[in-house]
Structure 1
Amino acid sequence: MQNQLQAIIVSKQTSRWHRFDSQQAINEAAVQRILAAAQEAISARGRFSIVLAGGGTPKSVYGLLRNAQADWSKWHVYHNDDRCLPVDHVDRNSLMAREVWLNHVAIPANQVHDIPAELGPVEGAKAYAATVAGIDTFDLVLLGLGEDGHTASLFPGHVWDDSLDAFPVFNAPKPPSERISLSARRLSDTREVMFLVTGAGKQEAVDNWRNGVAIPATVIAPATGVDVYTFGVELK
C-alpha cells in the first residue's frame, strides 16, 4: 500500500502516520501537500507562510518544488533551525534551500527569511525572534527526525527556553555545536505540521515516539496534530 495512515496520541500530541513504499512516493506526496496547503492559505488569507527543515529528504522535496507551478509571490519562507556558520557554508540549511529551490522561483527576496546564524547563536537568535514576532500563526511547518529523536535543534537532554520564539543552542551533540532554533512553542503555533522521516536509522526514534517515550519530536503539538510521512521504517 503506497500510503498507510495510522493515528496515535502521544502525550498532548496527536500524530497521524503515513507510510510510503518508495522515496519517490513520499517526495511527491509531500510536494502535493505543500502546494495544496499553499493554495488553501492564499485563498483564505492572501499569503502562505512555510517553515523549512534541513536534511536530505527535504532537499529532495525542494528540488521538486523548483519545477512546480505556484503563486510564488504570496509565499513567505522561514527556517526551523540553522547552524552558526558563514552564510556560504555548505552545511547551512538556508544555502541548501536557496540553491536547490528558492533561487529558481519568483518568491520576492524580502519574503525569504533566513536565520542570521552567521551572527552567532545569541545575536542571531535575537534577530530571528524579532523576524518571526510579527507572524501570527504559520501555515505549514516542515520538520525532520534525528536518530536520537531530535527535531529542528531541539536535542534530547537539553533545556529549551520555550518563552522565546527563537533561542541559541550550545553544545549540540552533532557538529557544529552552536545553532539557532525556533522553540517548540513557536513551531507548534501553526495550522499544519509535516514530519519527513526516512531511513532505517530512524527506526528506534520512531518506535520510541509511537510507544509514548518523550523524545523531542513529541513536544511539537499544534491543535491540529501532526502528520508524519515515513519511508524505510516500520510502523510497529
Structure 2
Amino acid sequence: MNKTVEVLPDKEALIARSLEVVLSQMQAAISERGQCTIALAGGGTPKPLYEAIASLDLPWDKIHVFWGDERYVPADHPDSNQRMARHAWLDKVDIPAANIHPMSTDGESPAADAQKHDDYLREFFKVAVGEFPHLDIILLGIGDDAHTASLFPHTDALQMTDRLVTVGNKDGQPRITFTAPLINHAHCVIFLVAGASKQPALAQIFADEADAMTYPARLIKPQGELWWLLDEAAGQKLKK
C-alpha cells in the first residue's frame, strides 16, 4: 500500500487538489488499461469535485461510473447518492448511458438488490465468485463515527469477506455498499475529508492501534494507492 496524507488549507484547496489527483489517476488508467472505472462517494464534500469534473472535456466514452454505496431510496429521492452525482456531473456531460452503473434500490429487498449488484459487477469485470475486480478509483469519505461507504460500526457488513456488495445498516436504515475487500482491491482509494467534526474519528483511524469494528475506515488498506486529502479543519492534529 502506497499511502499519502495531505492537509490542505481549506475546503476549496481540498477540492482543487482532489481534482488533480482524480484526473491523474483517470489519465493513467485510460493510458494503461483503455478505460477508467471510478466509484463515487455521497455526501456534501465531493459534490464540488463532481461539479468541477463536469466542466472539463474528458474522454467520456472511456469512463465508467459506479457508486461505493447507496441509500435504499428511489433514484430520484433527495437522499440518493446517484441523484446528487447526476445533477452535479453526469447529466451535464456527454457520457454514454451505458457507462453509468448505479446500484439498484427498487427490487424485492435490500439483500436482493445487493446480490443483484454483486452479480452485475462480476459480469462487468469478468471475475468469478471468490475473485475481486480492481476498480481504478474509489472515492470515499468518513462520518464522525469513522464509518466509510456504508460500513458502519459493529454491523454485519464489516464481516463480509467474500462478497463485492452487501447490505449496510445505519440505525435500522438499509444501504447498499461495497465491501471492504472490494474497496481494498482498487488501484487507488481517495478519502476526501473536511470539517473539524472529523478530528476524533481521524485520530482513531490513524492511531497505531484501535478496533476496526468500532472505527470501520481502519479496514481500508488497498493493494494500490491510498490518498487521504483533508482540509485544515479536519487534519490539523495529524500534521507533524
Residues 162 and 117 of structure 1, relative CA distance in 2, 3 Å threshold: farther
Does the CA-based 8 Å contact 2:156-2:168 persist in structure 1?
no
Structure 1 residue 166 corresponds to structure 2 residue 155: no
* Root-mean-square deviation (Å): 1.4
Whole-Å Cα distance in 2 between the matches of residues 235 and 16 of structure 1?
Answer: 16
1:152 is aligned to 2:149: yes
1:141 aligns with 2:138: yes
Find out whether 1:206 has 2:202 as its counterpart.
yes
Q: Which moved more, 1:41-50 or 1:118-127?
A: 118-127
Q: Amino acid of the residue matched to residue 96 of structure 2?
A: P
Q: Secondary structure at the match of 1:113?
A: coil
Q: Tell me how far apart the structure 1 counterparts of residues 221 and 207 of structure 2 sit (CA, whole Å).
A: 16
Structure 1, 157-166 or 42-51: larger mean CA deviation: 157-166
1:235 and 2:237 aligned: yes
Gaps of 5+ in 2: 126-132
Identity %: 32
Q: Is the 8 A contact 1:14 1:221 kept in 2?
A: no
| CA offsets 1:36-70 (integer angstroms, 9 cap, x no match) | 11111111111000010001111111011110121
The answer on 1:226 being equivalent to 2:235 is no
What do residues 151-207 of structure 1 show as CA deviations (whole Å, max 9, x unaligned)?
A: 00001111222211101124x13xx71111010001111110100010011010011
Q: Contact conserved, 1:121 with 1:169, CA < 8 A, in 2?
A: no
The residue aligned with 1:189 is: 185
CA distance in 2, matches of 1:144, 1:50: 15
Question: SS at 1:103's partner residue?
Answer: helix
Residue pair 2:138, 2:183 contacting (<8 A) in 1 also: yes
Q: Which runs of 4+ in 1 moved over 4 A?
A: none
Aligned length: 221
Q: 1:56 aligns with which of 29, 44, 61?
A: 44
For 2:143 and 2:10, locate their aligned partners in 1 and report how far apart those are by CA, in whole Å.
20
Which of residues 118, 123, 138 is equivalent to 2:112? 123
SS in 2 for 1:117: coil
